[in-house]
Amino acid sequence: MIRKLLVLLETGVVLAGLLLGVAYWQQNSALHQTLNLTQEQLLDVPSGSSPTGVLNRLQAEGVIKDAFWLRLYWRFNLQNQSLHSGEYRMAPGMNAESLLDLWQKGEVVQYSVTLVEGWTFRQVRAALGKQVKLEQTASDLSDTELMAKLGHPDVFPEGRFFPDTYRYVRGMTDVELLKQAYNRLDEVLQEEWDQRAPDVPYTDPYQALIMASLVEKETGVPQERGQIAGVFVRRLQQGMLLQTDPTVIYGLGDRYNGKITRALLKEPTPYNTYVISGLPPTPISMVGREAIHAAMHPVAGNSLYFVARGDGSHVFSADLDAHNAAVKEFQLKRRTDYRSSPAPVVVPAQPVDAVETPASAQQSPNPQGTGAQATQSKPEEAKSEERKGAAPDPSEPSPKPQTDAAAPSPPASDPGK
């Protein structure tokens, strides 16, 4: 009897060993099988997917065989490993084990989108809208609704996002990416504000951000950012109008057609710094760290004017006579290559309803005090000559196009899309 039991036990052990051997062989074969692919494919793993479900799908599509053994392998070897959502790159010649290794490491395919210094919020939204791998959740929202979804319902969006290259994976939403850009701008702005020069005329970081946007739009040569900021700061401190064309263009919104006439310079908008004193009510574009730093550290000097040479650089002048001479030399020649600051290469903007200013942004934040007036008392003709560019003919456009894309419509009372 005991002998029979020993024989049965030995037989059971042998059979178990054989079964384990077969299982090992089957599993090993399943792991080392080559994926049935003729070209590279992206495997989309939606959020909440399980390894079992994805393996079954791959088997149904004919990419793998023996999904059962791969499921067992994952269950007994990687049961505590979560499967990250996103896209996984599958290439011809890859085996199943390599694919599982990608899952284990979470090596999903990454995409990138670059937000460019000088872009308006309209251009930002248009660029994100072209990212086919980015989940579009804000395309039907107005700017006001979008800012509320970001958790900042009372914030005007212009200039509040940091220009940079952002990486994302399939399944990430446009709102999630914008949150990154918003938070990054806040970090950079606070860092620069904490290290600002002691005599800058801003009462809060937002005013410095507005100034930085003017510097960004007027700068063609990076080394001149500090000098341009210095001119603007000195004009503010002396009660002079800033008289910078990009603010006129921004205030015109969709009406800007690449031409600035004398009549447009006189047109009162909340942004026209030929009319309003102090800073405009909001930034007019996105700004990089360099422009923010320049606004916080304006270069000392006595220049109050600048005019573009036509190559992106400027001639800076301390008095009106010298400035008018520079204008005559560089701008009145109507050089065909004239540009006060080279426009960035932008993604063509899709139609997005006009951005608008909240009621709290209608008053211009003048660093010298609300309602402070410019000290200039020159007639209008003299003021036109005092521009940092040439005085335009009433029927002729200014030769200073600032951007190749249409600026947003000037803010109104009810923010649009």
Q: Which pLDDT score is estimated for 396?
A: 40
Asked whether the predicted pLDDT for residue 16 surpasses 70, the reply is no
Least trusted range by pLDDT, from 18-22, 241-245, 390-394: 390-394
Query: CA 104, CA 408: separation in Å to the nearest integer?
Result: 46
Q: Which pLDDT score is estimated for 2?
A: 74
Asked whether the predicted pLDDT for residue 139 surpasses 80, the reply is yes
Asked whether the predicted pLDDT for residue 353 surpasses 50, the reply is no
Strand partners, 43: 88
Cβ-contact 47, 107 below 8 angstroms: no
Helix H or strand E encompassing 263: helix 262-266
pTM over the 0.85 mark: no
Residue type, 193: W
pLDDT-based confidence at residue 80 (cuts at 50, 70, 90) = confident
Q: What average pLDDT does range 227-231 have in this prediction? A: 97
Cβ-contact 387, 328 below 8 angstroms: no
Q: Which pLDDT score is estimated for 82?
A: 84
Query: CA 75, CA 199: separation in Å to the nearest integer?
Result: 65
pLDDT tens digits along 236-287: 999 999 999 999 999 999 999 999 999 999 999 999 999 999 999 999 999 9
Q: Which pLDDT score is estimated for 176?
A: 97
Cβ-contact 33, 42 below 8 angstroms: no
DSSP 266: H
Residue type, 156: F
Higher pLDDT, residue 402 or 225: 225
Note the residue count of the chain: 417
Q: What average pLDDT does range 6-17 have in this prediction? A: 64
Q: What average pLDDT does range 220-246 have in this prediction? A: 96
Q: What average pLDDT does range 94-116 have in this prediction? A: 94
Tell me which range, 44-53, 71-80, 355-364, is most confidently predicted by mean pLDDT.
44-53
Percent of the chain whose pLDDT exceeds 70? 74
Q: Which pLDDT score is estimated for 20?
A: 64
Query: CA 91, CA 12: separation in Å to the nearest integer?
Result: 43
Query: What CATH architecture is 31-105?
Result: 2-Layer Sandwich (3.30)
CB atoms within 10 A of CB 391: 20
Crossing angle between the packed helical segments 245-252 and 205-218, to the nearest 10 degrees: 100
Query: CA 129, CA 107: separation in Å to the nearest integer?
Result: 25
pLDDT tens digits along 288-340: 999 999 999 999 999 999 998 888 899 999 999 999 999 988 876 644 444 33
DSSP helix, strand, coil percent of the chain (3-state; round to 5)? 40, 10, 50
- Chain mean pLDDT for the chain: 81
Kindly tell me the sign of the dihedral angle through the C-alpha atoms of 332, 337, 342, 343.
positive
Strand partners, 317: 305
Asked whether the predicted pLDDT for residue 154 surpasses 90, the reply is yes
**What is the residue extent of each domain of the chain?**
31-105, 199-385
Query: CA 210, CA 286: separation in Å to the nearest integer?
Result: 10
pLDDT-based confidence at residue 6 (cuts at 50, 70, 90) = low
Q: What average pLDDT does range 348-362 have in this prediction? A: 36
